[in-house]
Amino acid sequence: MEITRGRIPCGQKVVIYGVPGIGKTTLAAQFPNAVFIDTEGSTRNFDVARFPAPSSWEMLKSEVQYAIDHPGELGTLVIDTADWAAKQCNTAVAQRVGKRGIEDFDYGKGYTYAAEEYGRLLDLLDLLTPKGVHVVLTAHSVLKHVEQPDQFGKYDQWALKCDPKITALTMEWADMILFCNYKVMVISTDSKGQKGKGQGGQRTMYAATRPAFVAKNRHGLPDEMPMDYGQIAHIFAPVVQTPPTPAPVPPTVAPEPPAVSAAQIMPENPTPAATNVAPAAPASATPTTAKDASTDDDVPPFTFSNSLKGIYPPLADLLRENQVTPSEIRLVVGGKGYFPLDMPVQDYPQEFIEGCLIAAWPQVFDAVKADRAELPF
């Protein structure tokens, strides 16, 4: 087993969400060689490259698959917006079993089925980043009430305008989450401070979580920045691989030839050289061609390698052998109440993985197959 060190050049997975009209599409359009999958018609007034507007969930996935098969045609795939894509996902899940909508499933199971189907889209998008293609999901934001288990009372927090299960999967999937909003200062207009008016309104993007929103990054960005692509452009610059410099080789000094006398150079009675010299063998008319080493530059087919990164290796081997995705493991573990549904498998304690998932793998795999059997498609 080989241990490597250092950063691995690959595409970045970015979520940009915020209030309507803040400029999410404009920001996404500035990513390198961006190609849009426009689910809501928001790019009509932009001079951007785009796929045909997807009229169904299957069409959206087929466009993602095209990008996977032709990575040289784009530098960034933008899905604008993720919450409208989630609506298409909900519709597809309901239509497959003849339901009128996602709410028609008993006990809220429709949202669980939709989250699993949406997770398959995220798994597809994972195949783009090893090919050097960035993935950007834009989304609208909505205010939701949040209650911390160790605190009394509730407070408002901006969140993706999606079902909580899909929101949790998307936030976990992303390498970078940027929340965009207008920075407003409230100025008091009366002596008691009960009335005020907003001033300012600078477009701002945030790269670190605060109580009012969730954001993150892995590049040391400032917590708060002007909403300008130049603030993050260095992250998406193409990586130039510099070949290693070979160590200098000391020059080789040829030894001096031994001294030779004149008699050795010109003997007194030289023997005439033979005149009949055999002709040299003719060069072969057929040129020798070296066999090409390998011209297959294609990336190997999907083997769960991306979705299994960071997972405890013995468990990752079981998932790979049985074609089980991490999202299916989260559904089983979350359904049993061991850990939250949105907790990444990479964060499971090693004792739990060894003592429960690996030691009882036949039962775990049976639970996965049972969940699959419950799916109506």
Q: Supply the CATH number for residue 108's domain.
A: 3.40.50.300
Cis peptide before 81 (omega within 30 of 0): yes
DSSP strand pairing (196-206 vs 176-188): antiparallel
DSSP strand pairing (34-38 vs 49-50): parallel
Whether 362 and 228 map to the same domain: the answer is no
Whether 173 and 50 map to the same domain: the answer is yes
Residues sharing a CB contact under 8 Å with residue 229, sequence separation 6 or more, in sequence order: 27, 30, 31
The count of structural domains within the chain is: 2
Whether 225 and 111 map to the same domain: the answer is yes
- Residue 297's pLDDT is what? 47
What is the pLDDT confidence band of residue 372, given thresholds at 50, 70 and 90?
confident
Whether 231 and 331 map to the same domain: the answer is no
CA distance 334 to 11: 30
Whether 203 and 350 map to the same domain: the answer is no
Whether 218 and 350 map to the same domain: the answer is no
Answer whether residue 251 is part of any domain: no
Percentage of the chain exceeding pLDDT 70? 76
Answer whether residue 3 is part of any domain: no
Q: What is the domain range of residue 135?
A: 13-188+197-236
In the predicted model, what is the mean pLDDT of residues 83-99? 92
- Flag whether pLDDT at 261 surpasses 70: no
Whether 70 and 172 map to the same domain: the answer is yes
Amino acid type, 135: V
3-state secondary structure of 333: helix
- Flag whether pLDDT at 84 surpasses 80: yes
Answer whether residue 2 is part of any domain: no
Whether 41 and 136 map to the same domain: the answer is yes
In the predicted model, what is the mean pLDDT of residues 262-271? 45
Whether 232 and 317 map to the same domain: the answer is no
- Average per-residue pLDDT for the chain: 82
Whether 17 and 166 map to the same domain: the answer is yes
CA distance 169 to 114: 11
- Flag whether pLDDT at 275 surpasses 60: no
Whether 72 and 179 map to the same domain: the answer is yes
- Beta bridge partners, 77, equal 35, 135
Answer whether residue 296 is part of any domain: no
What is the pLDDT confidence band of residue 260, given thresholds at 50, 70 and 90?
very low
pLDDT tens digits along 105-121: 888 888 999 999 999 99
CA–chain centroid gap for 80, Å, is: 16
CA distance 85 to 56: 9
Answer whether residue 289 is part of any domain: no
- Residue 339's pLDDT is what? 84
- Residue 338's pLDDT is what? 82
Whether 71 and 216 map to the same domain: the answer is yes
